Structure 1
Amino acid sequence: MLKLFTQTGWRFLWLSLLVLVADQYTKFLILENIELYQAIQILPFFNLTHVYNYGAAFSFLHDAGGWQRWFLTVIAFLVSGLVLWWLKQTSKEQMILPVAFSLIIGGAIGNAYDRLVHGYVIDFLVLYYQNWYWPAFNVADSAICLGAVLLIVDMFKNKEEKHG
């Protein structure tokens, strides 16, 4: 069993836990300190704004009537299980891929936890320029996006190594 946590990508599961804890702690701080829909300007292009997302990315399915809560939660756990299995398949020599997988797992579980406990995902990070606003997001979303970027980086890195 120890070999799984030293010789495979599972050695990075601490990163999933770190993402989950950071995500839930920041959401707790938002719930305790910022009223719903209250916006606090941090920089001229960045606010902390307490909002709820009943859907998925960019509020997809937010007005679907409630079934999306359970559907998205099941999808998050299924994807996390699959990614956890892929993470186990990675070798000790790989670095980028298991980090990417671990970030994705931590983010997916963080948002799934919100859906289970609250019925929605707590978002609070808002980027904007003049009247153009990027949809609100959170630490879990950021980890998932960073994980996706690292998957692309790993794909190109491995492609170059195979052809190089």
Structure 2
Amino acid sequence: MKLQIWLGTLKAVFVAVSVFLADIVTKAAVLQSFELNQSVAVAPFLNLGFWLNPGAAFSFLSDAGGWQRYFFTAVAVVAIAWLSYSIFFSSTISALTRVAFALIAGGAAGNLYDRLVHGAVVDWIDLHAGEWHWPAFNLADCGIVIGAALVVLASLRPESPTRECSRL
């Protein structure tokens, strides 16, 4: 059983690093291809572009005057540390939860990198219906949202953690 947990942990690390690297690579392409606030329509419901978000999800606290950068940086560091600890040292979480935590940690690391390097998060995906636009987001945000959904799904599953780990 310990080998199964170790393999699940290794796979979770791979997921987290993959989300982080995919996020960094796509944002680097965006920074090279677009000017700030520029966008291009690629489908009737999708624009790609370059926007900076100094706040959190849905631009929460984006106009708070600068202190939010440090606050969200600290939140990300604490979240990544707790998620990493859980991934590496908890033998009681399911494989699905381990992957969910990895998605969230990888996404948080991608957005943390942006805050440290750019002072704000680089967003580049703009979904819309007519004139109504969903707040712009990036791959890191996708990892966080998918990971959070998987945490909820894992909490609803009645299976035991050891049985789950063998399926990862």
So what's the TM-score if we normalise by structure 1?
0.89
Partner of 1:61: 61
Determine the C-alpha separation between the residues in 2 that align with 1:89 and 1:156.
22
Indicate whether 1:82 and 2:82 are aligned: yes
C-alpha spacing 1:92/1:15, structure 2 compared with 1 (3 Å):
farther
Preserved contact between residue 19 and residue 143 of structure 2 (Cα < 8 Å):
yes
Preserved contact between residue 4 and residue 88 of structure 1 (Cα < 8 Å):
no
**SS of equivalent to 2:73:** helix
1:104 aligned partner, one-letter code: I
Deviation string for 1:127-162 (max 9, x for gaps)?
Answer: 00011100000000000000001001101113xx48
Determine the C-alpha separation between the residues in 1 that align with 2:92 and 2:100.
14
**RMSD between aligned residues:** 2.2
Matches within 5 A, 1:83-102: 83-91=83-91, 94-102=94-102
**SS of equivalent to 2:97:** helix
| TM superposition shift of 1:91 | 3.7
| TM superposition shift of 1:39 | 1.2
Determine the C-alpha separation between the residues in 1 that align with 2:40 and 2:87.
38
Indicate whether 1:123 and 2:123 are aligned: yes
Deviation string for 1:23-80 (max 9, x for gaps)?
Answer: 0100000000111111111111011021000101111111111111111001101011
User: Percent same amino acid among aligned pairs?
Assistant: 41
Runs of 4+ in 1 over 6 A off after TM superposition: none
| TM superposition shift of 1:94 | 3.0
**SS of equivalent to 2:125:** strand
Which runs of 5 or more structure 2 residues have no equivalent in the other structure? 161-168
2:100 aligned partner, one-letter code: A
Matches within 5 A, 1:34-49: 34-49=34-49
**SS of equivalent to 1:52:** strand
**SS of equivalent to 1:47:** strand
Partner of 1:19: 19
Count residues with an aligned counterpart. 159
Determine the C-alpha separation between the residues in 1 that align with 2:5 and 2:151.
21
Preserved contact between residue 10 and residue 87 of structure 1 (Cα < 8 Å):
no
Determine the C-alpha separation between the residues in 2 that align with 1:7 and 1:91.
12
Preserved contact between residue 8 and residue 89 of structure 1 (Cα < 8 Å):
no
2:107 aligned partner, one-letter code: G
